[in-house]
A and B are shown apart, each in its own frame.
Chain A
Amino acid sequence: MNGLEFEKRRFIIGLIATVIIAVYLVRLLTMQIMSDDYKKNADSNAFQKEVLYPARGLIMDRKGRLLVYNEPTYNIMVTMNDQIGVDTADFCRTVGMTQEEYEERMAEIKDSRRNVGYSRFTPQQFLTQIPAKEFSVIQEKLYKFRGFSIEKRAVRRYATTCCAHVLGDVAEVNPAEIDSDAYYRKGDYIGKLGVERSYEKDLRGVKGLHIHLRDARGRIKGRYQEGRFDRYPEPGRNLTLGIDRELQALGERLMRNKIGSIVAIEPSTGEVLCMVSSPTFDPHLLIGPERGRNYRQLQADPYKPLLNRAIMGQYPPGSTFKTTQGLTFLQEHIITPGTYYPCSHGFWNGRTHVGCHGHYSPVELNFAIQTSCNSYFCWGFYHMVMNKKKYGSYSAALTRWKDYMVSMGFGYRLGVDLPGEKRGMIPNAQYYDKWYKSRWNALTIISDAIGQGEVMLTPLQVANLGATIANRGYYYVPHVVSKVEGRAIDTLYTRRRHTMVEPRYYEMVVRGMRSAVLGGTCKGANLPGIEVCGKTGTAENRGKDHSVFMGFAPMNNPRIAISVYVENGGFGAHMAVPMAALMLEQYLTGELSPASQAKADSYAQKVIYYGTKH
């Protein structure tokens, strides 16, 4: 075989090689010649880039009162390559450290395992967060120490000790954050929790850049092209929260020494008026050099103060959930306002029994809500799920039921503008099919009808339920930030979400909730001159019951909807109702009467740590 018959293939092989090289040449051409000239030049070592940090946006409450602001601090930077002939003894005296500390710090900086990305050509942080007072002393002598420079930065300060969960905090970026966003460099700050995190891109602003020319010995020789490519920093955008500072402070005071949450929403906008999660912490703990230690301490606390229970706590809603059931049954024509169901100390059906307190029987919707009758809603749920004629199967009926719940904002994250929101739980047919191997009916899952069983909501979802009823059938996604300077807020928060229930049915439930305040389970929320509507809840759980209230006021043109959760607080009427009444009074009248002040103090002093550590 001499292979001559395939001799022509050499041209193909030559062609393959030529094509490969040609493609690479074209690629080189686009990369090297048709790319951004300035960027290339600026990367050259004849330029020193000085980053100018923008001021981080301020945060204000709904009345424009400052909550978070900035205070200047200074970092001392060192560029190893330039650091020649420094009198270290003098330097140590000036900054107030010992020679050993100095050596140790220098070794730390040079250790590229701990100080990733270390380069002896770029400034490295030597000392950070030096307050302005101490700094002025150092600044005077800094000229003597070659290679040392200053960097002006700012730290966050808080005008109040409340709202820690909502405000969140800032801290140095971690390597993962640096990699995922080109904006950040080592040592930059980034929002870690709360609105500081969720509005990070608004708050951080745009960094400025000055390009200095320097000679081969590193001395600055002036601006590159008279500063034509320099950029000044753009300060971050200021945020205005929907939070009312006084209401929030009162809420935190009431919840002192208790576990739970109070959330209030303005129904007409969806703005969150207060978001209390207890226990809470002082936001000042998470700024300054002590941050790391304090953070670890808070993390180790068995009562989990870092957890924002308002959006991360998932509780059975208890009887507050009955309102949603009434609405669903009305819309589905399972019941009418004239439908009566029996209640003889509860719901009896075969071997299933759900207890109820003593009241007359039979009952219709209005009285059922007023007195929080378990039996009524169990019957409604039973008739809905077992209605094979209407839905075809239990699964189909439950799916329909689940759709109603989802339309009311349950079972999924509402989309509040805070990180870490939980979705709660609305069980669906597949869930029970799996659990009960498809052998289930309305009786198996009857406790869902009264907000027990598998149903779980966050306090925010319960407050949003109050807002939805107040609006008679729609809600805005709750949000804590009401205004962002220089841009409109996300349309996510300005679009109405209608539930699957018509407004006329909502009116019926509103009347029931009004009756509950006037002569039912939440008489304690009856404020003089204000038409409060409410619904208590007593959420059963492993320990003592959680005390729950959900309501809004005034009945017509509502201004506030509220949910109160006191873990292990017992009956709804016992803790949640009076606390809600104080909150409503504070918000709607702008202050507390002296009598109410005294009452608030007495609630603030109650200690309920039922020993359950979550």
Chain B
Amino acid sequence: MEQSTNPQGIFRSLDWITVVLYLLLLTIGWFSVVGATYNFGDPLVIDYTTRAGKQLLWIGLALVWAFVLMFVDDRIYDTFSYIFYIFMMGILLITPFISQGHKGSYSWIDIGSVSLQPAEFAKTATALALAKLMGSYGFSLFRPRNFLLALALVLIPMALIIRQRETGSALVYLAFFLVFYREGMSGSVLFVAFSAVVYFIVGLRYDADPLPHTLSSVGQFSVLVLVWVFTVLLSWIYDRNKLHALHMALGGLVLLGSAYAVSRFIVPFDIAWVALGVCLGCVAYIVVQAIRTRVPRLLLMALFGLGSLTVYYSADYALNNLLEPHQQDRVRVLIGLEEDLIKAGYNVNQSKIAIGSGGFWGKGFLNGTQTKLKYVPEQDTDFIFCTIGEEMGFIGSAAVLFLFLAIILRLIHLAERQRYSFGRVYGYCVLSILLFHVFINVGMVLGLTPVIGIPLPFFSYGGSSLWGFTLLLFIFLRIDAGRNRFGYTN
């Protein structure tokens, strides 16, 4: 009780490792913005008219925010989290109506000369509300009612942000599924999502490549084999009778092997049909076993197999009908279906050139030519990792990645040492969001993930994103600092 109101106590129990990591990221981030916005030949002046100067101002204000947060009693979050959540949802709801519109997106609110993106702050509100809900007495993800409630908390801001035409920011909320996983959601949900993405990418990417000696496409065949392998693996893990998995593995192997042999040595045919047969056979086999042994749980595996096939065969439909045209482009470019060098592909291509040209040591601060000569668009916001790659080389980029990994692992540690679910859930929310941003943003610049416009935490130019992450992080650090208020010390 004593410590929470005593600033000295707070600063003593504050996790300084995280603070140092945060400050390091901020510093490197600012130098990157300077590098990304600097023009050759211009004198290096930092004043409030340049983006570098403005970013310095945002950083200063962020630090003030962080400092002020230390003096707010952490229990206020627990108490007011729903109110804060409802308030933020209200702002998200009205944002598209009062927004002026930037590049087809209606997610910014102008306050005087400053534009703010409420979506950046809604993450904190959602994390707090989720922490409050999941930390409440008797909450269990295994109760459908509770789980649906938690899901609703995540889906509402997602829907509101999609309406602002900021699909990228909305996708960030998928990060909360990692929190659900930590709190007991079945790992198979993550596994199923992962498999769906793999089917989608492999299936479309290699659809046109012929499999040698057969009339099948590599994409279709590989996906069907993956479905079979995943189904067998699931059976091996979840079915007590390991013989079942063995039967399916051997049966599939024999069938596929002989189909290939026939196609290779006798008459070429589309062996994907055989693979499809194997998958359906496995599904039927599992259903029979489930009925025979009266273990309905096994039916879920059959459902997985069937669902996988549905997902694969509807992937093409999804790509062509569900996504917006610019997103379709980005997905197609990403999986290598199209060499689109003018739109989405242009950014990725240029960013790869810029990073590749950095080499081991980089070209040195302010010496990046690719980024300086404006080859890379949005180089100080979404594509800022390019500047790091070009000017600081492999050494610098690797260091930045390690810093992110360190802060994430540190946050896992902090989250696990919370005594209450509220703190732990909130901590996981923070680190999941950070991880998702780093995963998508860096992956996009490296040409590994789709081009989804979300900022790199602490690096990308802009006050909203910087303040949003600072708020997110320091609320957690404050909660963490107050964890011992009942007299525990470590």
Interface residues of A (CB under 8 A from B): 1-3, 5-7, 9-10, 12-14, 16-18, 20-21, 23-25, 27-29, 31-33, 35, 37, 39-40, 43-45, 81, 119, 121, 175, 179
Contacts of B181 in A (CB 8 A): 9, 12-13
Contacts of B446 in A (CB 8 A): 24, 27-28, 31
Tell me which residues from 171 to 230 in chain B have a Cβ below 8 Å from any Cβ of chain A: 178, 181-184, 187
Given A20-B439, A43-B370, A45-B369, answer yes or no on A32-B355 (Cβ-Cβ < 8 Å): yes
Contacts of B16 in A (CB 8 A): none
Contacts of A13 in B (CB 8 A): 178, 181-182, 412, 428, 431
Interface-facing stretch out of B45-53, B106-114, B329-337, B393-401: B393-401
Q: B421 to A24, Cβ gap below 8 A?
A: no
Interface-facing stretch out of B77-85, B120-128, B288-296, B357-365: B357-365
Q: B41 to A81, Cβ gap below 8 A?
A: yes
Q: B405 to A6, Cβ gap below 8 A?
A: no
B390-425 CB mask vs A (1 if < 8 Å, else 0) is 000110011001101100110010011000010010
Asked if B482 is an interface residue, CB under 8 A from chain A, the answer is: no
Q: A28 to B402, Cβ gap below 8 A?
A: no
Tell me which residues from 328 to 383 in chain B have a Cβ below 8 Å from any Cβ of chain A: 341-342, 352-353, 355-360, 363, 369-370, 373-374
Contacts of A21 in B (CB 8 A): 401-402, 404-405, 438
Asked if B389 is an interface residue, CB under 8 A from chain A, the answer is: yes
Asked if B88 is an interface residue, CB under 8 A from chain A, the answer is: no
Given A5-B184, A7-B416, A81-B41, answer yes or no on A32-B405 (Cβ-Cβ < 8 Å): no
In the complex, the chain B residue whose C-beta lies closest to that of A37 is B359
Contacts of B428 in A (CB 8 A): 13
A171 to B222 Cα, complex, angstroms:
47
A179 to B340 Cα, complex, angstroms:
8
Given A24-B446, A32-B355, A32-B359, answer yes or no on A17-B401 (Cβ-Cβ < 8 Å): no
In the complex, the chain A residue whose C-beta lies closest to that of B393 is A32
Asked if B484 is an interface residue, CB under 8 A from chain A, the answer is: no
Q: A3 to B369, Cβ gap below 8 A?
A: no
A175 to B397 Cα, complex, angstroms:
34
Cβ distance A66 to chain B, nearest Cβ, rounded Å:
38
Given A10-B416, A24-B443, answer yes or no on A44-B448 (Cβ-Cβ < 8 Å): no
Contacts of A175 in B (CB 8 A): 342
Q: What would 20 A/B residue contacts be, using CB atoms closer than 8 Å?
A: A3-B183, A10-B415, A12-B181, A13-B182, A14-B408, A20-B439, A21-B401, A21-B405, A21-B438, A24-B448, A28-B389, A28-B397, A28-B398, A32-B355, A32-B359, A32-B360, A32-B389, A40-B357, A43-B357, A44-B357
Asked if B454 is an interface residue, CB under 8 A from chain A, the answer is: no
Cβ distance A216 to chain B, nearest Cβ, rounded Å:
10
Given A2-B421, A13-B181, answer yes or no on A24-B401 (Cβ-Cβ < 8 Å): yes
Asked if B238 is an interface residue, CB under 8 A from chain A, the answer is: no
A76 to B373 Cα, complex, angstroms:
23
Q: What's the count of A-B pairs with C-beta under 8 Å?
A: 110
Cβ distance B139 to chain A, nearest Cβ, rounded Å:
6
Q: B394 to A33, Cβ gap below 8 A?
A: yes
Cβ distance B431 to chain A, nearest Cβ, rounded Å:
8
Q: What are the 10 closest A-B residue pairs judged by CB atoms, nearest first?
A: A40-B357, A32-B394, A21-B405, A31-B356, A45-B369, A17-B408, A179-B342, A35-B356, A27-B446, A21-B401
Contacts of A24 in B (CB 8 A): 401, 442-443, 446, 448
Contacts of A32 in B (CB 8 A): 355-356, 358-360, 389, 393-394, 397
Contacts of A16 in B (CB 8 A): 178, 435
Cβ distance A213 to chain B, nearest Cβ, rounded Å:
15
Contacts of A6 in B (CB 8 A): 182-184
A263 to B374 Cα, complex, angstroms:
53
In the complex, the chain B residue whose C-beta lies closest to that of A40 is B357
A496 to B102 Cα, complex, angstroms:
62
Cβ distance A578 to chain B, nearest Cβ, rounded Å:
54
Interface residues of B (CB under 8 A from A): 40-41, 138-140, 178, 181-184, 187, 341-342, 352-353, 355-360, 363, 369-370, 373-374, 389, 393-394, 397-398, 401-402, 404-405, 408-409, 412, 415-416, 421, 424, 428, 431, 435, 438-439, 442-443, 446, 448
Task: List 11 additional contacts besides A1-B139, A24-B442, A24-B448; criterion CB under 8 Å.
Answer: A2-B421, A5-B184, A10-B412, A12-B181, A14-B412, A21-B405, A25-B401, A31-B355, A35-B356, A44-B357, A81-B41
A17 to B175 Cα, complex, angstroms:
12
If over half of A's interface residues share one DSSP class (helix, strand or loop), that class is named, otherwise mixed; here it is helix
A45 to B364 Cα, complex, angstroms:
13
Q: B139 to A17, Cβ gap below 8 A?
A: no
Instruction: Choose among B40, B352, B405 the residue that contacts A31 (Cβ–Cβ < 8 A).
Output: B352
A549 to B401 Cα, complex, angstroms:
76
In the complex, the chain B residue whose C-beta lies closest to that of A32 is B394
Given A1-B421, A17-B435, answer yes or no on A28-B416 (Cβ-Cβ < 8 Å): no
Contacts of A28 in B (CB 8 A): 355, 389, 394, 397-398, 401, 446
Q: B182 to A43, Cβ gap below 8 A?
A: no
Given A1-B421, A7-B416, A27-B446, answer yes or no on A121-B40 (Cβ-Cβ < 8 Å): yes
Q: B182 to A9, Cβ gap below 8 A?
A: yes
A27 to B374 Cα, complex, angstroms:
24
In the complex, the chain B residue whose C-beta lies closest to that of A17 is B408
Q: A20 to B435, Cβ gap below 8 A?
A: yes
Q: B405 to A17, Cβ gap below 8 A?
A: yes
Q: A43 to B412, Cβ gap below 8 A?
A: no
Instruction: Choose among A1, A5, A14, A40 the residue that contacts B409 (Cβ–Cβ < 8 A).
Output: A14
A39 to B446 Cα, complex, angstroms:
18
Contacts of A39 in B (CB 8 A): 357
Cβ distance A142 to chain B, nearest Cβ, rounded Å:
24
A29 to B356 Cα, complex, angstroms:
9
Cβ distance A7 to chain B, nearest Cβ, rounded Å:
7
In the complex, the chain A residue whose C-beta lies closest to that of B432 is A13
Q: Which of A10, A13, A40, A121 has the most CB of B within 10 A?
A: A13
Cβ distance A31 to chain B, nearest Cβ, rounded Å:
5
Cβ distance B391 to chain A, nearest Cβ, rounded Å:
12
Contacts of B412 in A (CB 8 A): 10, 13-14, 17
Contacts of B356 in A (CB 8 A): 31-32, 35, 40
Contacts of B424 in A (CB 8 A): 3
Contacts of A5 in B (CB 8 A): 184
A219 to B105 Cα, complex, angstroms:
46
In the complex, the chain A residue whose C-beta lies closest to that of B340 is A179
Q: A44 to B369, Cβ gap below 8 A?
A: yes
Contacts of B397 in A (CB 8 A): 28, 32
Q: Which of B352, B356, B360, B431 has the most CB of A within 10 A?
A: B356
A17 to B412 Cα, complex, angstroms:
11
Contacts of A44 in B (CB 8 A): 357, 363, 369
Cβ distance A217 to chain B, nearest Cβ, rounded Å:
10
Q: A121 to B182, Cβ gap below 8 A?
A: no
Contacts of A29 in B (CB 8 A): 394
In the complex, the chain B residue whose C-beta lies closest to that of A176 is B342
Cβ distance A146 to chain B, nearest Cβ, rounded Å:
16
Q: B182 to A10, Cβ gap below 8 A?
A: yes
Contacts of B402 in A (CB 8 A): 21
Contacts of B373 in A (CB 8 A): 45, 119, 121
A31 to B358 Cα, complex, angstroms:
9
Q: Which of A6, A7, A32 has the most CB of B within 10 A?
A: A32
Q: Which of A3, A33, A44 has the most CB of B within 10 A?
A: A3
Cβ distance B182 to chain A, nearest Cβ, rounded Å:
5
In the complex, the chain A residue whose C-beta lies closest to that of B424 is A3
In the complex, the chain A residue whose C-beta lies closest to that of B361 is A32
A10 to B190 Cα, complex, angstroms:
15
A44 to B181 Cα, complex, angstroms:
47
Contacts of A31 in B (CB 8 A): 352, 355-356, 389, 446
Q: B394 to A3, Cβ gap below 8 A?
A: no
A32 to B351 Cα, complex, angstroms:
12
In the complex, the chain B residue whose C-beta lies closest to that of A43 is B357
In the complex, the chain B residue whose C-beta lies closest to that of A120 is B41
